[in-house]
Structure 1
Amino acid sequence: MDTDDILGMLQETAAEVITPKFRQLSDGEIEEKNPGDFVTVADREAEQYLTRLLNAAFPGATVVGEETVFLEPGLLKGLPNADHAFIIDPIDGTRNFVNGKEQHGVILAEVRGGVTTRGWIWQPMTGRGYVAERGAGVRMNGDPIERASHDRLPLGATSKKKLLGFDADGRLSPVVSSNFCCAFDYPALLHGDIDFIFYSSVHPWDHLAGALMVTENGGIARTLDGISYTLLSRSRGLLVAADTMSWMAAQQLWPV
């Protein structure tokens, strides 16, 4: 199925299920899976909606989403051996969504034999759709992405408060806050707003699509031990950068 047609599935899911609930959630429609880790009725309904669309289009594929895996963690174990699979993050940035912030999105990754082959990010509030195909680059709304250049030391982002402002004694630009949303963090790296991002978790629904986009755009996505990020990655600590120089600078100087 055409990559842009699948992006249309994400757009349909957002239009039908997610956006109608934006800033309209009642207290009873919001839960915490863990302290600070929100899930809403929109997350669950969006995952079910997109799963139905994918199952209809790809009846032989395995389709799993973040919320299903939370209830059945064992589903992840079989994915590396699946001939064809899709991994859904129905609402990335749920905390932002709950707080009425526009920085939320839908993320989808396609995996064949454990290798990420395509990835999608849809930002409902900006109307930006990002698609990547292994070996064919990454596009935003159909156009190649030209990364902006800056005359600065490598600038990184993270959600870890203790690392904000870290500059490695002047060898990096002071680290700034992330968007608390991979659907916005990875595009920020693609466009050149930042040069690297650090994550402590490596969940595939968060990172497979974005990591493919970055690497297709000439960047690097590796765990802190220097191993390329894949569906099999379990390391605590993922460092994604626009280029080798930025990755090495951040990896050598990061206080972890």
Structure 2
Amino acid sequence: MSETLDTEILVLMRRVSEQIILPRYQNLASEEIIEKAADDLVTIADREAEEALQVGLAAYDPNVVIVGEEAAHADPSVLNALSGDCWIIDPIDGTHNFAHGHAPFGILLARASGGLCQSGWIYDCLSGRFCAAHCGAGASVNGEKFLARTTGENPPVAAISALFLDDEERAMVHTHITPHYRLVDIPRCAAEQYPRLGLGENDISTFKRTLPWDHAAGVLWLNEAGGCAQRLDGSAYRVEDNSDGCKKPGLVGASSPKIWEEYAARALANPV
């Protein structure tokens, strides 16, 4: 059942990518890029891709409510569906990159029930890499079963995001966290950041804002692959949590449970 669903979802994501997203890559007019909020962009491709994904998912199962990033921005009441059975859509994850004409960017889809992600899919529009996961059934990359691996480096490799941190939080991270890791840039794209944690490229990624369309699929995929993604207090990520993005304890993803525990111990020993 899950393999059939993965195939159907892949066909949908690939079609939307090839017909709507990629034709506008490095080909957007200035009026086709809109700033929803400070440093938060949306493009005509985001909106058209979300509409196409909604149509495809509705045809697959018309009884399940759809929560799309752009629909929720236009009407926040859409978020009320996150506690029930729903599809979650991020039509272009990494819009900032896409709008500026560079990689990475991708599509994120998830199926959630009761506040927890049950299935998730991550599609890289440029490479075609397809990551899938189902709760209790493991993770895959391009149709092959997959287990997460660490970078093997000492110190571990960390992409620590300062986005949305206040000055006190930045100071704590700089003093007590970053000296223990080799730092790399964040890709500003969860559709890239979560795979990096499983593919032996990064060991730690941190997130302050944890909106469901950005994280539902990636959290499930990493956990099912044997890595670890959860709230800094050790609680599970729930898609209906803090829909404004920043009130709950931060979300940390790691290439292994051990590396996650080491990071959390450092952060909790130095609370802000």
Scaled by the length of structure 1, the TM-score of the pair is: 0.92
Match of 1:96 in 2: 97
Q: Percent of aligned positions with the same letter in both sequences?
A: 35
**Kindly tell me: are residues 21 and 230 of structure 1, through their superposed partners in 2, closer, same or farther at Cα, counting changes over 3 Å?**
same
- Contact map agreement 1:167 1:175 (CA 8 A) in 2: no
Match of 2:216 in 1: 208
Match of 1:183 in 2: 191
Instruction: State how 1:242-253 maps to structure 2 within 5 Å.
Output: 242-253=255-266
- Contact map agreement 1:155 1:172 (CA 8 A) in 2: no
Worse overlay, 191-200 or 144-153: 144-153
Structure 1 counterpart of 2:29, from 4, 9, 26: 26
Structure 2 counterpart of 1:241, from 229, 250, 254: 254
Letter in 1 for 2:228: I
Letter in 2 for 1:240: G
Q: CA deviation at 1:148?
A: 5.0
Gap regions ≥5 residues in structure 1: none
The one-character-per-residue Cα deviations of 1:56-79 (angstroms, maximum 9, x if unpaired) are: 111111112100101111211232
- Contact map agreement 1:155 1:173 (CA 8 A) in 2: yes
Match of 1:160 in 2: 162
For the pair 1:217 / 2:219, whether they are aligned, the reply is: no
Q: Matches of 2:178 and 2:115 in 1, distance apart?
A: 40
2:54 aligned counterpart, secondary structure: helix
Match of 1:195 in 2: 203
Q: Matches of 1:170 and 1:99 in 2, distance apart?
A: 29
1:70 aligned counterpart, secondary structure: helix
1:31 aligned counterpart, secondary structure: strand
Instruction: State how 1:23-102 maps to structure 2 within 5 Å.
Output: 23-80=26-83, 82=84, 84-102=85-103
**Kindly tell me: are residues 79 and 170 of structure 1, through their superposed partners in 2, closer, same or farther at Cα, counting changes over 3 Å?**
closer
Q: Matches of 1:252 and 1:12 in 2, distance apart?
A: 44
Letter in 1 for 2:209: S
Match of 1:136 in 2: 137
Q: CA deviation at 1:170?
A: 8.1
Letter in 2 for 1:211: V
Match of 1:119 in 2: 120
- Contact map agreement 2:150 2:203 (CA 8 A) in 1: no
Q: CA deviation at 1:149?
A: 4.6
Match of 2:245 in 1: none
Q: Matches of 2:158 and 2:217 in 1, distance apart?
A: 20
Q: Matches of 1:124 and 1:169 in 2, distance apart?
A: 33
2:180 aligned counterpart, secondary structure: coil
Give the number of aligned pairs: 253
2:159 aligned counterpart, secondary structure: strand
1:7 aligned counterpart, secondary structure: helix
Q: Matches of 1:113 and 1:151 in 2, distance apart?
A: 38
Q: CA deviation at 1:232?
A: 3.1
- Contact map agreement 2:155 2:182 (CA 8 A) in 1: no
Scaled by the length of structure 2, the TM-score of the pair is: 0.87
- Contact map agreement 2:132 2:140 (CA 8 A) in 1: yes
Gap regions ≥5 residues in structure 2: 164-169, 243-247
Q: CA deviation at 1:192?
A: 1.6
1:2 aligned counterpart, secondary structure: helix
- Contact map agreement 1:92 1:182 (CA 8 A) in 2: yes
Q: Matches of 2:132 and 2:206 in 1, distance apart?
A: 22
Q: Matches of 1:144 and 1:59 in 2, distance apart?
A: 29
